[in-house]
Structure 1
Amino acid sequence: MLIIAPTRELALQIDSDFRILSFGLGIFSVACVGGLPIMKQIVELRKGVSFVIGTPGRMRDLIERKVLDLSTCHKIVLDEADRMLDMGFRDDMVFILGKVSKERQTLFFSATLSAEVKKLTAEFLKDPVFISVISGETAKNIDQDIIRTRNKEEKLERLHEVLKKEGSNKVLIFREMKHSVDSLTKDLTHMGFKVGCIHGDKRSRERIRTLDLFKKNHISILIATDVAARGLDIPDVTHVINYDIPQTYNTYVHRIGRTGRSGKKGIALTFV
């Protein structure tokens, strides 16, 4: 079985969860993602595994090296399919789907169903069934509000106030640009907060380590670009803060979905 995810973090999380669920069952997986040593992944593949979980670019690389043979693969899952299209992985997705057995079950998962995803389903799926759990809504257990500011100084001051409030125990802050993530991380670190950040320019190992520190509560604030917005299950996030306004409503839905999970209450704040 093949499971494709848009980011290393999500692919590694899926692999980690799979290993917990499959413990003692005699079925094994390998995570094939960029930024980590490819030779180790090749060795695991040659040993033989039941599940291959990874990102489109690394999977294509392994196929072209003739290490990953998908001709006998009869089940394929594309998680966050629209995000993969947004990130420019369409050619890789088409390439990989073309290498899988024609007799297969294909599953597309996403919190939103874009026109591009529908186009892809028409191209590669036969008589697909669309199942919508929830459409165009944000979670009922997330309190949403906006914070108006007049300038950068006031914006940072108001953020400081929010972070110092009781109950702001685990905060995920989104910014649009990588350099903005770095700059806000420095500002909050100077204020004495335990802060980490992730974005596309960070090394894979550094991103994984920072995410792990946040999950385990060694840092209380994580600042990120939308690389962290999709699919990741980070427990007990109390606040999601859109320090920059998201460009689309779908991005907003994905971002704030990191809080208010598993029946718990969450707070989503957007600075305008």
Structure 2
Amino acid sequence: MNARAIDLNSDLGEGFGRWTLGDDQEMLGIVTSANVACGFHAGDPRAIRSTVTGAADAGVAIGAHVGYRDLAGFGRRNIDVASDDLVADVIYQIGALQALAAAEGTSVSYVKPHGALYNTIVHDERQAADVVEAVRLVDPTLVLLGMPGSAVLRLATEAGIPTAIEAFADRAYTPQGTLVSRREPGAVLHDVDEVAKRMVRLATDGLLEAIDGSMLELRADSICVHGDSPGATDMAKQVRLALTEAGVELRPFAAAAAATTSTTARS
């Protein structure tokens, strides 16, 4: 497989009140897409708006980073939410971000679930269907970003919603292609150079080494570089540099994914 285009995304807008998390402004100079918190797992309106403004100024695509209503747990606790509540919660979060984006003369182009919700809808058909339904009701042209082989991406495709596949730069993978739980040793990768090499191989060869040394085949549209871990911007810079030196073009995935779905629908 030859080098190709790929997107870099990061979770941003997660400050709350006097509490800050990560360096959004620096990260916006590195990534091509910003997963902006919508107030349920993190982010207050002022912080969210500031991130949206920065993304618009930097020409970075904006995505709604929707999650469970769980500020105390940062959206990383599993919650058995009733379908009526989950659909409404996701609609509410997307709508809030859309309003803030519109006020800054920009728009939301995709949706990426956060934390426990992201992991739950890999396998949970009901909650996956709820997220898909919420996106469909708000705007079925929004791209849904998620894990390869997940229930939510399959259901989104069946509903005619454009999808994109994501890989994580700093997370270890199981041989089955899922993320190693953060509760397990080795789940988060810290060697900047090694992470960069892994992402170049992913972008150019479609291969990713699992935690046991086996090789996974994965063609990702976007790479997530987390913005809240120590040394996050340094890692993101190194990943970007390594990709560009390998001849990989960096560009937002959302427009391409939406265009592909539109072409398929017309054929």
User: TM-score, structure 1 length as denominator?
Assistant: 0.32
Structure with higher Rg: it is 1
User: TM-score, structure 2 length as denominator?
Assistant: 0.32
